[in-house]
Amino acid sequence: MTAISPTAISTAPSAEAPFGRIVTAMVTPFAPDGSVNLDLAARLADHLVREGSDGLVLCGTTGESPTLSWAEQHALFAAVKEAVGDRAALLAGSGSNCTAEAVEATAEAAALGADGVLVVVPYYNRPPQEGLEAHFRAVAAAAPGLPLMLYNIPGRTGCSLAAETTARLLDLPNVVAYKAASGTTEEVSRLRLLCGGERLAIYSGDDALTLPMLAVGAVGVVSVASHVAGPQIRELIQAFLAGDHALALARHEALLPLLQALFCTSNPIPVKAALELGGWPVGAPRLPLVAADSTVRERLSSILAALRPT
């Protein structure tokens, strides 16, 4: 049998992975006066696609959606859409803890030409499962032809979307993907057990768990680290898909110091510092987040230097 080279494996969008294998949760660049830097956002998006991102999420957690106005979010999406065109899947973060706002944002994303939306579990309210189901049904109905990626991140939202609830939502044809960010591979296994391995595309929501989650059935990753290590993450996923698990493990272990450093404090503080160290002046996060301190920057600088090709 002829061995398959990992580099021969495509990570582009497919029936199995509707948004591709590597979806970068993109930061929102800010100008020195604190406004959204649309020109830099467009250039960064183009760079990320060239570095291996199959898709981009705009205005998610990493994009600081809680501190962006809806007008800023729409302008950002339009600028990136113009820069990227159809070279990558573009998902808009349209979640909110107010169902009416999420419905409106999802309809607007469809009107702007999004390829999908990332819809986070409503935060702070801590709704019961019945409320979560009703919320996502309302959002899905706002744009019936627009694919939805459900986003479960209980560490930020204060509640968790149960696998049983997700399974009930699969009667909605536009619920196609799930970002699993509970910090455990068990979430993936439970979803596959109840939802079927082919009906729902599960993406790792934790960079450090990409390889373990692939091993239990995830199709890719919604990544922060791909801002600065896109080619290396692509190599990891391609190696796994090609069956070269030893190479995939080696790539995982080489990336682990970076993956840990990027989450040593609240995201996106470290990744914005990493981008600035790489020559991308994306600015500090908006308050109440703050810029990385010297300890974080020094740690990242050392790790990034070690990752650079010699």
Annotated catalytic residues are: 151, 179
Element (H, E) at 220: strand 220-223
Would you list the DSSP string of 146-194? S-EEEEE-HHHHSS---HHHHHHHTTSTTEEEEEE-SS-THHHHHHHHH
d(CA 288, CA 276): 20
Element (H, E) at 22: strand 22-25
Give residue 229's Cα distance to chain centre.
14
d(CA 125, CA 241): 39
State the Rg of the chain over Cα.
18
Collapse the DSSP code of 116 into the 3-class scheme (helix H, G, I; strand E, B; otherwise coil) and give the result. Answer: strand
